Structure formats: structure tokens, C-alpha cells
């Protein structure tokens, strides 16, 4: 019994050794295929590497988009309902003429109106009034800055802390003061090595004194200056009209239920009985995230299409190489079949060769992709689009690397099947043509 186990064990070892030897033999054949015709291989390499590099770069950009969204969503209030006025709608009279029904108009009185009906929301409603975007110049630096009017509770409800500040006081709001709290991007642009507190700047023909600086905040695109909403509404716009406002709920509150309550209340206030969406829109955090995902999804699908097209071209290159290789190696294939090689052995040989070839070029393409991604990120960084946290950055991480190698191997298999089957179907008579 022991001798039988010894024999079977020995046979098993020989079998595995034979498998390994054949595998390395196939890999060596792949190397010969690449080096046998340097001109052909060189031209093919260029197309393959560019195609695969395009795929990797597209995936890196898509991964960067996902990382940007994931990273920044944590800083957004998930208990917020955003209410915005829509454009109204058109109706037709009996004569077939269209009449545009003007949109409803929110103003600051809407805050008290909602709070009277729902006292639990008192102090939990805020808004911002974006009224200007102008180029300002301080010393030798110039850039566009957005001016935003905000009420006193805006900073606390949006969880925006400050690094340095004197802060808005009741007097600033009562006196309609021309004072501003600027964001970190503003400070880094105009006062990178000093404090801007007490400094003045001109925006929209008005001079403002800086009394605060917000901490570095994500989704911070360019310089922003926050001023008391009373200053904007009464001294600049001369109107209390609002395009939108935000309602902050308790973290345990049912967003969908409050959406229904506010919809009913606003329809009652503005005496509208048709579809509420024609007049105003209430967006929950989940809906906001969904809209962002839809937008980024479209962009990622476009990137996927570009990458897929490149992958297709790349695969055709590989298939052409292998078909030419089969033709050139007809005699070799016939000899292997003459000494006992089965069709499956021939197919396996050429599939392994195809995968090895694509993996070699895939590694080169990956190295090239790192260089391209660095150039892309350097270009994005030079555009001064806010802090690093809010800037799109292409990312080649482990997921991208593994996925690229998986696609590489699959491309080698898919586009290697036809040449492999062609090789397996060769007959002895075919070898005579290449004598």
C-alpha cells in the first residue's frame, strides 16, 4: 500500500512539474513571438500601450470623481431640505394661445410664515443671497470673488466654523454694515502670509472691511465674501426676494414627511392647487446626492465609452499579431500535433501567449498612465480651483490597478480565441505551403 502511495505521489509530482514546464514553455513562446519581428512588434506595441493607457487614465479620473464625492459628502448637512422657486408653467386659452403663469416669489417673510405654523422649525431656516461676482484686485493679485448675503444663523446651521474672526454682530445687521467674512480661498489668494483682518477691498463699487476668515472648507470653489443679508437686501438689491431657502431638521426627523408638510403649507400660502413641482421644488439630501450621482454617472459613462473604444482597438491589435504569428508558425504547430499535441493544447498555448503579450504591454501602459495622471493632476492644481479637498484628482489606486490587469487578461483571452482556434484547425497539408 505504501509503495502504491509512493507511485501515485511520484506521478502527481511529475504531472505538476510537466504542467509548470509547459506553462513556462508557453511564456517563452510568447517572448519569441514579440521579439521575432521587432518592426511589427514595435508598431503594435505603440497602439496597444496607448489604448491600455487610455483605459487606465479614464478609470483613474472616474475613481477620482467617486473619491471627491465620498470625501465631501460627509461635510454636508444630511438633515437639510432645500426649497427653490421654479419657473411656473404655461396654459392655453380656448383660442389656443399660450399664457405664461409667473413663478411664485419667496421673500424673507416666508421664514416667519413657516415658523408660525411649525414652531419647532423656528431658528432652523436660513438662506443665502448670491448677488455679485466681480473681479477684485488687492496689491498685485486679482481674481473673481463671489459675494453672498447671509443671515445670522447661516454659519451655525451650515456648521461653518471660522479660523479668525470678530464675527457679525447685531449691530452689523441693524446698521447694514459693509463688512465681510471671507473664505480660506480668498485669504490664500490675497493674503497668503498675513492676516486679512481689518483689511479692506472693493466689490461691486462698495468697500468692505474683512472681520473674519472661514476655516478651510471643502467644495470651496474660488474666493467668497459673506456679508450681512440686510446689507445686501436693503442697501444693494433693494428687495427682500429670495430664490431659495434651507430648512434644517432634527437628525431624527423624517425628511419625506417634512417634505409633504412643507409642500402642503406652501401650496396653501400661494394658493396653488396644481402640481407643486411647477411652482417650487423641495430637495432632500438623498435627492441631492442622487442628482450628483446621475451627473457623475453620465460623465463616467462617457469616460467608459472612450476607454472601451480604446480597449477594442487595442484588442484588435493583439488579435492581428497572433493571427500573423499563427501563419508564420504553421510548420511548428504541425510538428507539435504530429508528436501528440491535442487541439486543446494548441489553443491553450496561443491563449497563454496572448495573455502574456497583453500583460507585458499592460504593465508598460500602467507605468505610462502614472506619468499621464501626474500631468493631469498638475494641470488641475494650476487652475486654482480651491483647496485640495474640493479639487478633482485622478487616482490610480489598488482598485484601478487590479481592474486594469483584469481587463488586460480578459482582452488577451477574448481576442486570442480566434487565432488560437485557427492554430488548432491547421492540417499537415498547410505546413507544406510554408516550406
Residues 136, 143 contacting (CB under 8 angstroms): yes
Domain presence at residue 10:
no
Q: Is residue 11 part of a domain?
A: no
Q: List helix spans (H) across 329-387.
A: 330-338, 343-381
- CB 394, CB 66: distance < 8 Å: no
Handedness of CA 323, 324, 325, 328 (dihedral sign): positive
Which residue among 251, 283, 315 closes a domain? 283
Residues 332 and 205 in one domain: no
How many separate helices (H) and strands (E) can be counted in the chain? 14, 15
Identify whether the C-beta of residue 302 lies closer than 8 Å to the C-beta of residue 61.
no
Going by the DSSP 8-state scheme, the letter that residue 386 receives in this structure is S
Q: Is 131 a member of any domain?
A: yes
- The answer to whether 52 touches 362, Cβ cutoff 8 Å, is yes
Residues 66 and 181 in one domain: no
**How many structural domains compose the chain?**
2
Q: Is residue 3 part of a domain?
A: no
16 occurs within a structural domain = no
Say if residue 92 is in the same domain as residue 164. Answer: yes
**pLDDT for res 7:** 39
Statement to judge: residues 154 and 298 lie in one domain: no
End-to-end CA distance of the chain: 54
User: Are 249 and 351 part of one and the same domain?
Assistant: no
**Domain identity same for 150 and 108:** yes
Per-residue burial over 341-356, b if 16 or more Cβ lie within 10 Å, else e, is beeeebbbbbbbbbbb
Domain's final residue, options 239, 266, 283: 283
Q: Are residues 184 and 108 in the same domain?
A: yes
CA distance 350 to 417: 8
Q: Same domain, yes or no, for 334 and 226?
A: no
Bridge pairing between strands 280-283 and 89-92: unpaired
Which domain range does residue 132 map to? 81-283
Check residue 410 and give its pLDDT: 76
CA angle at 313 for the pair 308 and 319, rounded to the nearest 5°: 120
Query: Does some domain include residue 18?
Result: no
Residue 384 lies in a domain: yes
147 and 245 belong to one structural domain:
yes
pLDDT recorded at residue 85: 86
H helices of 74-167, where?
A: 109-117, 154-157
Same domain? 271 vs 221: yes
Q: Are residues 157 and 122 in the same domain?
A: yes
Q: Whole-angstrom Cα distance, residue 191 to residue 341?
A: 76
The pLDDT, as a whole number, for residue 165 is 82
How much is the pLDDT for 18? 58
- Cα dihedral sign, 14-19-23-25: positive
Extract the residue ranges of the chain whose pLDDT is less than 50. 2-12, 14-16, 75, 386-387, 432, 434-435
Within this chain, do residues 231 and 340 fall inside the same structural domain, yes or no? no
Give the residue from 234, 260, 283 where a domain finishes.
283
CA gap 386, 216 in Å, rounded: 9
φ, ψ dihedrals at 388, nearest 5°: -55, -35
Residues 74-131 have pLDDT tens digits of 545 568 899 998 866 566 666 666 665 667 889 999 999 999 999 999 999 999 998 7
4 belongs to a structural domain: no
Amino acid at each position: 500500500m505504501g509503495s502504491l502511495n509512493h507511485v501515485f505521489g511520484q506521478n502527481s509530482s511529475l504531472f505538476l512539474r510537466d504542467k509548470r514546464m509547459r506553462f513556462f514553455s508557453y511564456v517563452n513562446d510568447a517572448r519569441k513571438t514579440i521579439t521575432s519581428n521587432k518592426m511589427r512588434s514595435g508598431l503594435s506595441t505603440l497602439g496597444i500601450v496607448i489604448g491600455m493607457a487610455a483605459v487606465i487614465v479614464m478609470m483613474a479620473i472616474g475613481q477620482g470623481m467617486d473619491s471627491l464625492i465620498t470625501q465631501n459628502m460627509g461635510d454636508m448637512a444630511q438633515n437639510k431640505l432645500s426649497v427653490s422657486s421654479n419657473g411656473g408653467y404655461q396654459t392655453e386659452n380656448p383660442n389656443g394661445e399660450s399664457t405664461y403663469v409667473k413663478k411664485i416669489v419667496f421673500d424673507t417673510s416666508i421664514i416667519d410664515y413657516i415658523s408660525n405654523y411649525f414652531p419647532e422649525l423656528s431658528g432652523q431656516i436660513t438662506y443665502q443671497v448670491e448677488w455679485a461676482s466681480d473681479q477684485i484686485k488687492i496689491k498685485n493679485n486679482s481674481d473673481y470673488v463671489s459675494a453672498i448675503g447671509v443671515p445670522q444663523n447661516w454659519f451655525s446651521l451650515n456648521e461653518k466654523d471660522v479660523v479668525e474672526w470678530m464675527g457679525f454682530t447685531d449691530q452689523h445687521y441693524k446698521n447694514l454694515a459693509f463688512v465681510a467674512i471671507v473664505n480660506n480661498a480668498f485669504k490664500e489668494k490675497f493674503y497668503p502670509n498675513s492676516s486679512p483682518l481689518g483689511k479692506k477691498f472693493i466689490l461691486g463699487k462698495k468697500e468692505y472691511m474683512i472681520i473674519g476668515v472661514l476655516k478651510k472648507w471643502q467644495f470651496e470653489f474660488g474666493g467668497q465674501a459673506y456679508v450681512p443679508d440686510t446689507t445686501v437686501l436693503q442697501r444693494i438689491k433693494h428687495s427682500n426676494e429670495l430664490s431659495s431657502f434651507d430648512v434644517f431638521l432634527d437628525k431624527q426627523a423624517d425628511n419625506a414627511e417634512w417634505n409633504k408638510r412643507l409642500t402642503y403649507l406652501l401650496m396653501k400660502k400661494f394658493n396653488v392647487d396644481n402640481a407643486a413641482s411647477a411652482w417650487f421644488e423641495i430637495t432632500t439630501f438623498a435627492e441631492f446626492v442622487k442628482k450628483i450621482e446621475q451627473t457623475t454617472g453620465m460623465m463616467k459613462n462617457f469616460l467608459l465609452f472612450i476607454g472601451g473604444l480604446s480597449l477594442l482597438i487595442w484588442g484588435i491589435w493583439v488579435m492581428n499579431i497572433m493571427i500573423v504569428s499563427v501563419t508564420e508558425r504553421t510548420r511548428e504547430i504541425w510538428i507539435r500535433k504530429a508528436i501528440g499535441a491535442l487541439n486543446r493544447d494548441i489553443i491553450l498555448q496561443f491563449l497563454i501567449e496572448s495573455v502574456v503579450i497583453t500583460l507585458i504591454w499592460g504593465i508598460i501602459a500602467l507605468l505610462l498612465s502614472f506619468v499621464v495622471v501626474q500631468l493631469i493632476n498638475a494641470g488641475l492644481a494650476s487652475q486654482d480651483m480651491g483647496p485640495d479637498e474640493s479639487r478633482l484628482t485622478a487616482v490610480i489606486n489598488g482598485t484601478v490597478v487590479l481592474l486594469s490587469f483584469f481587463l488586460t487578461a480578459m482582452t488577451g483571452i477574448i481576442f486570442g480565441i480566434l487565432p488560437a482556434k485557427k492554430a488548432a484547425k491547421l492540417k499537415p497539408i498547410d505546413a507544406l505551403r510554408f516550406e
